[in-house]
Structure 1
Amino acid sequence: MSDFGLQSLSPLFYWAGIFIAFFSSFLILGKSKKVTADYVLAIWFMIIGVHLIFFVLFRAEGYLHFPALIGFEIPFPFMHGPMLYVYILCVTNQNSGKKIWLVHWIPVLFIYIALFQFLMLSPQERLAVYQNKGKGYETLSQVIKILMIISGILYVGLSLLAVRKYKREISNQYSNTEKINLNWVYYLIIGIALIWVAVIIRNNILIFSMVVLFILVAAYFGISGVGILDYSAIKIEDTMENVPVENISEVPKYEKTFAGEEAIQEIYNKLVIQMEKEKLYKDPELNLNYVAKLLDVHPNILSQTINFVENKNFYDYINRQRIEEFKRIAVLPENGKFTILSLAFESGFNSKTSFNRNFKKYMDCSPREFLKNQSIIME
């Protein structure tokens, strides 16, 4: 049923991983300001710690000394995918409700049910099955291994889709996404994906060595509180003052009913007037909620308006305005003394990378090429 007969690194390496897993869990639970994602990560670390304990106890035929535990370790690999997915849903504020989370644990329950007959055997009988390489349970063992790999691939895929959905939705909320850091969740997903590659090639030593390294990285980010969104850099107005900080990055969803073309056009006209009059796009931290408050409309309706009329999300709409502003001021003779980047900042961009990316996206050329075509030389 299991393959724990490999020689490995010093047990101290794995016990260190176990200690770090549980210690990190307690440190996270001890944080003064905890959010749901912290609790999920703490529980996940505990699960990893218990899983590592099984590995250390069973390695090098250690199951001979702990026959009563045989079989209980088998469902643990099915727990890590759901924990990764739920954690990412939490840190990206895509909470779908704790009842839905429980659905992801049904496969774990089914595995225990499938193993019920085996687990009801006496410890010595289970030991005999292990020593005979699963004799009598070969089919069940193979099915579980296949399902384990499917579970890993499925939840890595679901996690990537969740991040992709988040990236798409934050573009409906913010005009600059440079402060929104998705590296942390990508590290998690890549780490788990590499572990599942090791599972597929069936190298237990590689698997659990990578798990220990994964714990080290995850513990650092989890305890240090490195998040996806730099909230201090986001302009939060009165419309958001009563919203908990962990929910600020939630993105308004479209209402089920369409506001109506007449109402949409009226809102759009008001938006255009504000853009032309106040040049709102020049604020690098401009966000949807702030603009919606100025127009006295619900953020959902404003987002719907931009999408319907401009066929763009909020991010693309505002950055197109910034590009047009740059083009306008860059050709003015009195601005020849300024650099390209300084005019980009003046137009509302907050980084050279964002400016160059958006300019090439809309103009199909670089800023320098555009200026060259206008016979303008600028640093």
Structure 2
Amino acid sequence: MDTFTILIIVLLSAGAIQGLVFGAILLKSNTRNKTANKILAVLLILLSYRLVVQTMRLFGLGYYDGWYYVMLDLSWIHGALLYFYVIAQTQPGFSFNKSHWIHFLPLMLQVIFSTFVRLQNLYWDGTKESLSWLGYWGYWLWMNQPTIYIVASALIIFYTHKAEKLLHHPSEGVIIDSERLGWLKTIITAFKLYFSMVLLILLGDLIFFKATTDEYYFYFIRFYYYPFFIGISILTYWIGIEGFKRKDLQEITVKTKLDPEKEQQLKMVAKALQKCMQEQELFKEPNLNLNKTAEFLRIKPYLVSQSLNEVLNTKFNDFINSYRIAEVQKLLLDPKKNKHNLLTLAMEAGFNSKSSFNRSVKKQLGISPNELRNAR
């Protein structure tokens, strides 16, 4: 076995193992967003299964046996699962219903046609005449051409396009937080771009090969065959890690439409909140809470909470900590202060513990506290 083959085995195995491990964890997870986690788990397991079968072939195992055929029969469902994952992440209380069956139609067609093609082996004696017209050309189209991969890639492009539209135009009243929205846009864009490239290579190679040679075309010995699976392995590895990190995200909730008078009242509260943070620097109070803030503004606590949720789209702690982090960043720019350690600056900005500071920096900036000094 040459070095290149060993490298391919390592790369495919890394994606497969990652997908299977995180798929199993997500499948058993019982968080509020369990529907999305289970859809992602199924997608990871199917992608990993595809990589396992391909790795087996490198060891001379699985050629045209049950493992191989089942793998082919499942390849047209990946795009739909990606789409349903986005729906489950962006629509409150999502569950499958009868109207969704149409999205599984490509999978059913693939199973039916794959079964028909495999049955031709019962009649084939090595000659074209031993098969019916449909049997012969069906086998030729299905087994000796990249038809399955072309259709699978096209389906993924189609469903990622639908998912992008959903992310740009969510249901009325649905507010998607930036962490969830950013992650979903990134994963959908990655799959769309990758499989657009795959589709162009498949079609381009097929057309060029047919136009320049009379030799028989076998897609599974073409130059792109194993690099194609390395790309799938990387996507599987990456989506497994990122999806697992977000397995505890709460389900999306729908915000009720406010009447104009109430909306105006909450906007005024929001302005008062921002003003007291910017001018009075209320956030520097280490023990600041919702009640103390409401008392300072001389309004009811529930109005502060509603204003944060409905107008500023945030929670009280996140709102306060955003000002504290901004203050730490400001202190780091001060030559008289930036020589102090980060914890000292964090306490001066209003944080009351190291753990609270660390969590807030990671959540709001996506970096570790140690990186904060270099990120200014």
**Shorter chain as normaliser: what TM range?**
0.5 to 0.7
The one-character-per-residue Cα deviations of 1:163-186 (angstroms, maximum 9, x if unpaired) are: 112398545x9xxx66x4422112
What is the alpha-carbon distance in structure 2 between the residues aligned to residue 82 and residue 31 of structure 1? 22
How far off is 1:47 after superposition? 0.7
Structure 2 residue 64 is the aligned partner of structure 1 residue 74: no
Check whether the contact 1:79–1:105 (CA below 8 A) recurs between aligned residues: yes
Structure 2 residue 162 is the aligned partner of structure 1 residue 158: yes
Check whether the contact 2:156–2:195 (CA below 8 A) recurs between aligned residues: yes
How far off is 1:155 after superposition? 0.6
Q: What fraction of aligned residue pairs are identical, expressed as a percent? A: 15
How far off is 1:191 after superposition? 2.6
How far off is 1:88 after superposition? 1.0
What is the alpha-carbon distance in structure 1 between the residues aligned to residue 68 and residue 124 of structure 2? 10
Structure 2 residue 48 is the aligned partner of structure 1 residue 45: no
Instruction: Name the residue aligned to 2:343.
Output: none
The one-character-per-residue Cα deviations of 1:107-153 (angstroms, maximum 9, x if unpaired) are: 10011112222122448969999xxxx96333455764553333122
- 2:153 pairs with one of 136, 140, 149: 149
Letter in 2 for 1:136: W
Instruction: Name the residue aligned to 2:254.
Output: 251
- 2:260 pairs with one of 268, 272, 278: 268
Instruction: Name the residue aligned to 1:321.
Output: none
What is the alpha-carbon distance in structure 2 between the residues aligned to residue 10 and residue 144 of structure 1? 22
Q: Give the TM-score normalised by structure 1.
A: 0.53
What is the alpha-carbon distance in structure 1 between the residues aligned to residue 111 and residue 125 of structure 2? 15
SS in 2 for 1:136: helix
Cα pair distance change 1:20/1:206, threshold 3 Å: same
Check whether the contact 1:24–1:42 (CA below 8 A) recurs between aligned residues: yes
- 1:19 pairs with one of 8, 17, 20: 17
Instruction: Name the residue aligned to 1:354.
Output: none
What is the alpha-carbon distance in structure 1 between the residues aligned to residue 183 and residue 125 of structure 2? 41
Cα pair distance change 1:39/1:116, threshold 3 Å: same
Cα pair distance change 1:136/1:70, threshold 3 Å: farther
Q: Give the TM-score normalised by structure 2.
A: 0.54
Check whether the contact 2:31–2:247 (CA below 8 A) recurs between aligned residues: no
Instruction: Name the residue aligned to 1:327.
Output: none
SS in 1 for 2:54: helix
Check whether the contact 2:39–2:81 (CA below 8 A) recurs between aligned residues: yes
- 2:239 pairs with one of 208, 218, 222: 218
Structure 2 residue 84 is the aligned partner of structure 1 residue 86: yes
What is the alpha-carbon distance in structure 2 between the residues aligned to residue 315 and residue 274 of structure 1? 10
Which sits farther off after the overlay, 80-89 or 195-204?
195-204
Instruction: Name the residue aligned to 2:188.
Output: 189
Instruction: Name the residue aligned to 1:136.
Output: 137
What is the alpha-carbon distance in structure 1 between the residues aligned to residue 122 and residue 11 of structure 2? 29
- Gap regions ≥5 residues in structure 1: 1-5, 230-245, 255-263, 295-312, 317-379
Report the number of matched residues: 254
How far off is 1:69 after superposition? 4.6
What is the alpha-carbon distance in structure 1 between the residues aligned to residue 125 and residue 311 of structure 2? 60
